[in-house]
């Protein structure tokens, strides 16, 4: 398996400065828009059924996140993902708390049928999406990421998507090749929206023309490295959240390459 080359990933992303269309949850809309701006992309949060089909055709990538799902928002997600498919706009699914209620699970299942380039979730979410009867603690995982690796491979093969499971170690698989990313910091679990930020960053790399596998590896490695650097500067969640945003802006290709811990799994 050839080692993924992230050497110029950040400069490529910043050169492309992709417009990223987000249909996301109300908790993280601001956080993820700021993360996308900090890394060098251009975010737009657009979710009216009446306009998502037109808007997504202007975008370089689409992020779909079911964190605070409502029926109109789900309808908009179906319109946007179908239009994205027609227009060749790559999109990523974040199945937040997929196993928590039948409504969410059904919604996530309906969306994964519509050919996302990437699915990114925590272990409980990926297990639920794969059909395992698992519990979660709302939006938080009660499983380690390794426990969802087989489920991730299963979803990847069934839907032709790249699947990323995050946790202490992140895994990215296309159903055949699997990579482990051993970056990150526990403090990332003490601030809301870091999983959603991971998803949005992968969306930015998709919008910059990276393959699904490269985009998932780049997005997760960026957040993991930034999390480590932020934790060295900030010891509590409030300042850590600010340090993440600053770190996304300050990170360069050389620092990413020297801190990345990506190995075959
Ligand atoms: N125990 C941990 N140690 C280091 N990094 C972690 C840990 N748990 C999660 N992360 C990182 O936090 C980010 C969000 O992942 P995760 O918490 O799994 O998503 P979610 O917020 O959707 O549950 C990812 O970058 C992941 O690598
Ligand atoms: C707290 C919360 N409730 C519904 S969505 C959301 C944010 C979840 O963010 P993340 O999955 O990144 O932890
Ligand atoms: Mg999440």
- Domains of the chain with bracketed CATH: 9-264 (3.40.1190.20)
Give the C-alpha separation, 170 to 4, whole Å: 15
Sign of torsion over alpha carbons 66, 68, 71, 72: negative
The tens digit of pLDDT for each residue in 109-119 reads: 999 999 999 99
The per-residue pLDDT of the chain, averaged, comes to 97
CB-CB contact of 228 with 183 (8 Å): yes
Tens digits of pLDDT across the chain (265 residues): 667 788 999 999 999 999 999 999 999 999 999 999 999 999 999 999 999 999 999 999 999 999 999 999 999 999 999 999 999 999 999 999 999 999 999 999 999 999 999 999 999 999 999 999 888 899 999 999 999 999 999 999 999 999 999 999 999 999 999 999 999 999 999 999 999 999 999 999 999 999 999 999 999 999 999 999 999 999 999 999 999 999 999 999 999 999 999 999 9
What ligand 1 atom has the least distance to the C-alpha of 192? Answer: 21
Give yes or no for residue 198 CB within 6 A of ligand 1: yes
* Burial of residue 3 (number of CB atoms within 10 Å: 0-12, 13-18, 19+): exposed
The complex scores an ipTM of 0.99
State if residue 68 touches ligand 2 by the CB under 6 angstroms criterion. yes
Pairwise CA distance, residues 263 & 24, whole Å:
31
Minimum-distance ligand 2 atom for the alpha carbon of 199: 12
Regarding beta strands 91-94 and 178-181, do their DSSP bridges make them parallel or antiparallel, or are they unpaired? unpaired
Q: Which residue shows structure tokens 């930015």?
A: 204
The ligand minimizing its distance to the Cα of 196 is 2
* Whether this model's pTM surpasses 0.95: yes
Contact at 8 Å (CB) between 229 and 247?
A: yes
- Residues around ion ligand 3, judged by CB within 5 A, are 96, 195
């Amino acid at each position: 398996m050839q080692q993924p080359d992230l050497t110029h990933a950040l400069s490529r992303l910043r050169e492309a400065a992709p417009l990223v269309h987000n249909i996301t949850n109300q908790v993280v809309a601001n956080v993820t828009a700021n993360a996308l701006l900090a890394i060098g992309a251009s975010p737009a949060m657009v979710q009216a059924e009446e306009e998502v089909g037109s808007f997504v055709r202007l975008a370089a990538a689409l992020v779909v996140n079911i964190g605070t799902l409502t029926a109109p928002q789900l309808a908009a997600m179906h319109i946007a993902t179908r239009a994205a498919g027609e227009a060749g706009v790559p999109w990523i699914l974040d199945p937040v708390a997929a196993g928590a209620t039948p409504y969410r699970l059904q919604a996530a299942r309906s969306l994964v049928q519509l050919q996302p380039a990437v699915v990114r979730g925590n272990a409980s979410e990926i297990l639920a999406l794969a059909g395992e009867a698992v519990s979660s603690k709302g939006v938080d995982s009660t499983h380690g990421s390794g426990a969802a690796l087989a489920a991730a491979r299963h979803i990847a093969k069934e839907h032709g998507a790249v699947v990323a499971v995050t946790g202490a170690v992140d895994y990215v698989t296309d159903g055949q090749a699997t990579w482990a990313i051993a970056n990150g910091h526990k403090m990332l679990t003490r601030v809301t929206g870091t999983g959603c930020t991971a998803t949005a960053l992968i969306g930015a790399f998709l919008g910059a023309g990276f393959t699904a596998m490269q985009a998932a590896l780049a997005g997760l490695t960026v957040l993991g490295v930034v999390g480590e650097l932020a934790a060295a500067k900030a010891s509590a969640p409030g300042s850590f959240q600010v340090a993440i945003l600053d770190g996304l802006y300050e990170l360069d290709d050389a620092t990413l390459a020297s801190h990345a811990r990506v190995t075959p799994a």
